[in-house]
Amino acid sequence: MLRRMKPISVILSSSRHHYRRGVTTWSPLTTAFNTRPEKRINFTRNEVGLFGVPELTSYEGFYALKEKAIFKTDDLIEEATSATRTRKMVTIFDELSDTLCKVADLAEFIRLAHPVPNFCHAAEDACISISGIVEKLNTHKPLYRALKAVVEGGDRMETTDVDKHVASLFLFDFEQCGIHLKESDRQRVVYLNDCILQLGQRFMAGAVHPRSISKNVLPEAIRHFFSADGDNILVSGLYADSANSMAREAAYRLFLYPDAQQEHLLSELLKARLQLATVCGFPTYAHRALKASTMETPEMVNEFLQTLNEQLRPRAEKDFAVMRKMKASECGANMPLAAWDTPYFTSSLKRTYLQASASEYSPYFSLGACMEGLNLLMNSLYGITLQNTEMAPGESWSHDIYKLAVTHETEGLLGYIYCDLFERQGKPNQDCHFTIQGGKVMDGDQYQNPIVVVMLNLAQPRWSGPTLLTPSMVDNLFHEMGHAMHSMLARTEYQHVTGTRCSTDFAEVPSVLMEYFASDPRVLRSFAKHFQTQEPMPEAMLERLCASKNVFAASETQLQVFYSALDQIYHGPASEWRGNGESTTETLKKVQEQYYGLSYVENTAWQLRFSHLVGYGAKYYSYLISRAIASWIWQTYFERDPFSRTQGEKYRRGCLAYGGGIPSRLLVSNFLGREVTAANLTNSLINEIDTFSERLQPPPGSVAGSLR
């Protein structure tokens, strides 16, 4: 957005010793991201259109893009079904996918992020139109038969293992819509998918709806903690950070009180998913959801959860023992530890380790310093620089966007990352990564470079200084940039499997791995400098910060195991969650007793507020698997030296480069040299927890310290 910076090799000494110390003056990248973005007035240059797409100088250009996609789709269908085609079937299908994704992905992002309503509406219309095209393709039987013949009998052209894998993924996508079924069953699949969509939307809306009760229900002493609505009190969350134990308990019991409508919606959603799986030939919805995943089957997931749970139980109990003592110290009585206490005491102990508020760490984490930290890390691991690049008029959707050119020292430009980092009215309040254009090999061995957007919601920089990040914001930035670099470094032949377009339980591995870098003192030392003085963060502060990220790791992990196990049972055989006509809450009680160290709270139903059951149905375990694999990679390749170019190249060439082009289970086992088993995955997490537990020295005078 400002100007292209020089390659990092020009700015820094090539000596590893000097490189790791960082720089003594702010780099151009730091300066750019620490400078308040300003609107620019264009007097002479023609606008190039959003993301450089010439049609999008106006919102009306979405109509032209849509029409071009329709015409090209028709041509590709004709080619795929032709008896005289001259290209591999998978190549034609990938071009078909690329044609539609280039419009759909771009339109979906603009629909969410553009501040001008006309652009949003036009983008939404384009999304609907492309969805209509996809629905028609999903019923195009000659196209399906042409692909199926190639997958089952081989192509007339020579194909590789990657070709066969990607073709099989296209076929599975086709069959998800029931095209291979008799017409009555196919119509049933369409009907059930529509039911699942509507039930999910209604359930998610109800999951966040506040609970309104008469103020007389609450003791007068805690009413002021909640929002008032006339004679009623609105409970809109769990108030987990409240220091008042009574307020936490009241919020938990009221917000999570069973709701008959939500129970009905969840039960119907689970039934519809099971029926869908059965019609499509799967024993359960979990079997359908896990096909082509790293874990492959629900049986493997359950083995992992049970193995991990056995190892976690005694370790989590030690965490709970500390929390019980903290509660007794704070409340002045030997009160039992309950589910509403754990988030509060976890945060409390983290603050004790920090010995300061999170905001006191922020001056060392200016946005520019963090971006330079990422640049230093990428350069060290992969020989890559992040170069702030000036955009042409009309290229961005808001004036406060940065554009990074991702450039390799010998390979040249790898792609672009647009950074939409600041909050603004109407922008989604979420941190996420969007693929605008996937990487793929083009005709003539040219490469279509990836284009992505990293979206955060940071405060706009003030005139008096740059945007400052809290430690958790730094973690989020590194996480989302992990997704972006996965997209940049996955030099796949096909865009259908580029970067993050891989199995759900592997897609988070590169981003979670980046959180390990963001939690390592050696990495933080390279960029955590005061935005005014450029003084490095004091060593004691830095060590306390890294330690604070690992408090109560065992109990936090056990909670994720519990959530994952419940999700698997809900999406498993009907007998496991509907036996004797039991409710989803009765199932919850049984699963909690088996998988979690704290008792179920009577007359609560937190699963009816658990919206992840909609978006991650049967896949919630993916967080744990991704973390286990990321931890395994960290311990094997980077724990000894997080700046190692040798290990970075191994990781890039042996893992990131493939995207979803190789089955993720095979990819992980090949890269780590061991089978992906429940025992190996469990060991990686338990080793991590035990290592941090040994290093974690309780703060002097703390309750945790006195217990130990």
Which one of the listed residues 372, 480, 493, 508 is annotated catalytic?
A: 480
pLDDT tens-place string over residues 327-337 = 999 887 778 99
Range list of H helices, 214-297 = 245-255, 260-279, 285-290
The average confidence (pLDDT) of the chain is 91
pLDDT at 575 over 80: no
As a whole number of angstroms, the distance between CA 40 and CA 38 comes to: 6
CA-CA distance, 381 to 650, in Å (whole number)? Answer: 10
Sequence-separated (6 or more) residues with CB below 8 Å from residue 446: none
**Residue 175 falls inside a structural domain:** yes
Mean pLDDT for the stretch of residues 670-674: 97
Say how far apart CA 251 and CA 256 lie, in whole Å. 8
- Alpha helices, H only, 114-226: 117-137, 141-153, 161-176, 183-207
Domain end residue (candidates: 551, 567, 586): 551
Mean pLDDT of 682-693: 95
* Residue at 135 is within a domain: yes
Structural domains counted in the chain: 2
| 415 within a domain of the structure (yes/no) | yes
User: In which band, very low, low, confident or very high, does the pLDDT at 42 lie, cut at 50, 70 and 90?
Assistant: low
Fill in the DSSP letter of residue 461: P
Judge contact between 567 and 617, C-beta under 8 A. Answer: yes
Indicate if the pLDDT at residue 96 is higher than 70.
yes
Q: Which residue range is the domain that position 487 belongs to?
A: 360-551
CATH code (residue 87): 1.20.1050.40
Residue after which a domain boundary falls, among 146, 180, 214 = 180
Q: What is the pLDDT of residues 613-632, one digit of tens each?
A: 999 999 999 999 999 999 99
Name the one residue in this structure whose structure tokens are 């052209």: 157
Q: How far is CA 277 from the centre of its chain?
A: 26
Domain-located, residue 228: no
Q: pLDDT-derived band of residue 577, with 50, 70 and 90 as boundaries?
A: low
Q: How far apart are CA 568 and CA 573, in angstroms?
A: 10
Share of the chain above pLDDT 70, in %: 93
Q: DSSP 3-state assignment of 211?
A: strand
Please state, in angstroms and rounded to a whole number, the distance separating the CA atoms of residues 146 and 93: 11
pLDDT value, residue 26 = 85
The model's pLDDT over 210-233, given as tens digits with 9 standing for 90+, comes to 999 999 999 999 999 999 989 999
* pLDDT at 659 exceeding the cut of 90: yes
Please list, in sequence order, all residues whose beta carbon lies within 8 angstroms of the beta carbon of residue 685, skipping any fewer than 6 positions away. Answer: 308, 557, 624, 627, 628, 631
Taking only the tens place, the pLDDT of each residue in 478-502 is 999 999 999 999 999 999 999 999 9
Tell me: pLDDT of 3 over 90.
no
pLDDT digits (tens, 9 = 90+) for 163-192: 999 999 999 999 988 999 999 999 999 999
Distances from the Cα of 442 to the Cαs of 92, 95, 417, 439, 614, in angstroms? Answer: 12, 9, 21, 9, 37
Domain assignment of residue 616, yes or no: no
| pLDDT value at 7 more than 70 | no
Q: Which of 149, 180, 211 is the last residue of a domain?
A: 180
The answer to whether 480 is a known catalytic residue is yes
Nearest to 366 by CA among 256, 459, 228, 428: 459
pLDDT at residue number 306: 98
Give the pLDDT confidence score for residue 46 in this predicted structure.
84
Q: What is the CATH number of the domain that holds 538?
A: 1.10.1370.40
Which CB contacts under 8 angstroms, 24+ apart, belong to 590-594? Answer: 591/562, 591/565, 591/566, 592/562, 592/566, 594/309, 594/565
Q: Does 142 fall in a domain?
A: yes
Q: Is residue 17 scored above 50 in pLDDT?
A: no
Single pTM value for the model: 0.92
Q: Do the beta carbons of residue 63 and residue 71 sit within 8 Å?
A: no
Task: Look at residue 654 and tell me if it is in a domain.
Answer: no
Q: Is residue 8 scored above 70 in pLDDT?
A: no
Are the beta carbons of 565 and 591 closer than 8 angstroms?
A: yes
Mean pLDDT of 304-316: 98
pLDDT tier at 579, thresholds 50, 70, 90 = low
For 437-475, write each residue's pLDDT tens digit.
999 999 877 999 999 999 999 998 887 789 999 999 999
pLDDT digit string, tens, across residues 500-542: 999 999 999 999 999 999 999 999 999 999 999 999 999 999 9
Tell whether 38 is covered by a domain: no
